Structures are given as structure tokens and as C-alpha cells.
Amino acid sequence: MERQNLYLMTLASLLLLSTAGLSMIGGYTLDVYVSMFTICYFVASTVFRPRRLTFDFVGVVLFIVFAYIVALRVLAILAI
Amino acid sequence: MAKVRYFSFGAGIAAFGAVVAFISYYFLFSVPFAALGVACVILGGATLTLPESPVPSGAVRGVIHASVMNVEALLEEFDVREKAVYLPPKEGESVAYVPLASNPHLPSVESLVNAPRRLVSEADGVPVLLVIPPGSELVRASELSEASGLEDAIQYVLTEVSELCSSAKAVVAGDRLVVEMRGIKVKTEAAKYLVTLGSIPASIAASVASAVLKRGLSLVSESIEGKDSSATFRLL
């Protein structure tokens, strides 16, 4: 199987498992899901290193969103 | 073999996911379904960045072999002894020029780019032979771009598209490009081709490099030991 197809299947499986797992546990907000998706995306991208036609804008967006979520959590902990 | 339409699939699933996420979050108030929509958007976005499926490797090897034999026949006919200059693609096609006369200085890249596209042409007063190396079609089929990265592009074309070797590394140091290839699966039996354009994998790597770097390059030397090879090119 081509590496790119394997990458897509693995990414889809990871995303689905994350969604199913977190929803079964229940009680999580959307930012937790997005954080897990970010980890899944970067793990799959690092393992398979797919060749891309363009700049990895998905990775950049996910990283920015993840950083924003983490910053909000840190601020909440610091009670600012 | 069915071609995977990455762009269509990616756009479709991303749009679907966006709609599902929006409706689930703002109307159904369901976080898991909204997360599923977001996951679809991520998957669709990742798919959009992937290039379409390349040509099957078996067909690629056949094309490469035929191309090398054609070029070898030309090189033998003209009894060339000089190293070829690989040029970046022009109008989607990359070519190489082989000087037909000994000259201490290679023709400039500009003169070669502007030389008339004939079998035998002239650049800087030096007669040159036009050859279309096998890497030309592989570069076109692989949809390479400057964003690909040099080493990634060379590794992809040599190990996945053509499956000519197990691994490839490329390093640019000053005006030199060194390409190391391991586990080469094809032997270059065309003697003049080997001397003028390099071994088959090295020749393809040169075509890829000229397309990605947008520069001309010429083979300096190549060391072949068993199934490993190290080729050095001079960037022009």
C-alpha cells in the first residue's frame, strides 16, 4: 500500500479512536478533543512523513489552536 | 488501477466535517458529534495537501530503461566524452545538454537555457547535444515543487516512484551537491551514459535536484561500490 494511503488510513483511525474514546468517557469539552486530534495529527505526520504539495497549513493551524488552548488552561490555573 | 482523487476526497470530507461540526455544536449541542466534524475537517485538510498517485513503478522502470537506451544510442553516435549539464524544467520539460567539443569551461546555464531546442545546438560557441534524461518524465509525474524539499523529493522519486534504490540522501555544500544512494536495484550498463550523465539513479537525482533548486548542475564524479553509490554534482 502506498505510504500516503497508509498515512490517511492511520490518521483517520487515530482520529476516530480518539473521538470514540473521549465520547465514551464523556464530560469533555471540545478543546480536549481538538488537543487529542492535534497529537494524533502530529504523530501520524512524524511517523509517515507524507510528501506534500503545499505548506503544511493544517499542522500550523492545529499548533496555533493547541497553543491557544494550553494558554487558556494555564491562565485558568493561575487564576488570571 | 483507480486513481485516488485526493483533492476531491479532501475537499468533500472537509466540507462535510465543517457542516457537521457547525450544526452539532450550535444546534444539537453535541460535543462528540462536533468533534467528529472537526476530525473530518482535519482529515480533509491533510488529504488536500497530498499529491495524486504517481505512475506505477513497473511501468516507470520500463520507461526509464527505454529512455536510457535511446540516450545511449545518441551518445555513442556522437561519441561524446564530456559531462552533461542538467537544466531546470522549461515549460514542464527538463533537458540536459552534452558538450560535443572539449572545452575547459562549460557553457553558461543562461546560454544553454536560451539555446534552440534542436538535437544539435550551440551555446557559447560550443556545439551541444540535447538529451531528455529519464528523470524528466519522473519529475513531471511526481508533481514536484520547490516546497517539496530537496532530499525529500530525491528520496521520494528514487525510493517510491521508481523504486530504484532503498534510500537516498542529498546534501548541498556550497556549489556542490552530494547524493548518496543505498541499495540500488538497477545496474547501469550503458557505458557512455554512465560517464556523461551518471548512473541511472544519479541521473534521476540530478533531474530532480535541478527542478527543485531551479539551477543547472553537472556531474563531477560518482563512486559506485556494490549496491551503493555516491554522486557529486556541481551547481551552476
Residue B78 phi, psi dihedral angles, 5° rounding: -95, 0
Same domain, B226 and B111: yes
Kindly identify which residue of chain A lies nearest to residue B38, measuring between CA atoms. A34
Beta-carbon pairs below 8 A across chains A and B: 85
Name the grid cell of B199.
548512473
* B168 belongs to a structural domain: yes
In terms of domains, do B31 and B64 share one? no
Q: What is the pLDDT of residues B110-165, one digit of tens each?
A: 777 777 777 888 878 888 888 888 888 878 777 766 666 888 889 888 887 777 88
Which residues in chain B have their CB less than 8 angstroms from residue A37's CB?
Answer: 35, 38-39, 42
Residues B119 and B214 in one domain: yes
Q: Do B42 and A15 lie within an 8 Å CB cutoff?
A: yes
**How many structural domains are present in chain B?**
2
pLDDT over 70 percentage in chain B: 90
DSSP labels for B165-210?
Answer: -SEEEEEEETTEEEEEEES-------HHHHHHT-SHHHHHHHHHHH
CA angle A60, A63, A67 (to 5 degrees): 140
Q: Which of B105, B84, B94, B87 is nearest to B220 (CA)?
A: B84
**Residue B133 maps to a domain:** yes
The answer on B129 and B160 residing in a single domain is yes
- For the question of an ipTM over 0.90, the answer is yes
- Could you tell me if A14 lies within 8 Å of chain B, comparing CB atoms? no
Contacts of B36 in chain A (CB under 8 A): 19
B26-46 pLDDT, tens digit each: 999 999 999 999 999 999 999
Pair (B193, B213) in one structural domain: yes
Nearest residue on chain A to B9, alpha-carbon basis = A8
The confidence score (pLDDT) of residue B187 equals: 80
Spatial distance between the Cα atoms of B31 and B36, rounded to a whole number of angstroms: 9
Q: Which of A16-25, A48-57, B22-31, B216-225 is least confident?
A: A48-57
Euclidean distance between CA atoms B14 and B234, whole angstroms: 44
Domain membership of residue B184 (yes or no) is yes
Q: Which domain holds residue A25?
A: 3-77
- Is it the case that residue A1 has pLDDT exceeding 60? no
Q: Answer yes or no: is B44 within a domain.
A: yes
CA distance A79 to chain B (A): 26
Residues B91 and B125 in one domain: yes
Quote the minimal CA–CA distance from A78 to chain B in Å. Answer: 26
Q: What is the pTM of this model?
A: 0.62
pLDDT at B183 over 90: no
Parent domain of B72: 55-236
How much is the pLDDT for B1? Answer: 38
More confident residue, B6 or B160: B6
Q: Is residue B1 part of a domain?
A: no
Give how far A1 is from chain B: nearest CA, Å.
11
Residue A75 distance to chain B (closest CA, Å): 23
Looking at every residue in chain A, the average pLDDT score rounds to 90
- Residues A61 and A34: beta-carbon distance below 8 Å: no
With a cut of 70, say whether residue B54 has pLDDT above it.
Answer: no
Same domain flag for B99 and B176? yes
Count of structural domains within chain A: 1
Mean pLDDT of all residues in A1-12:
85
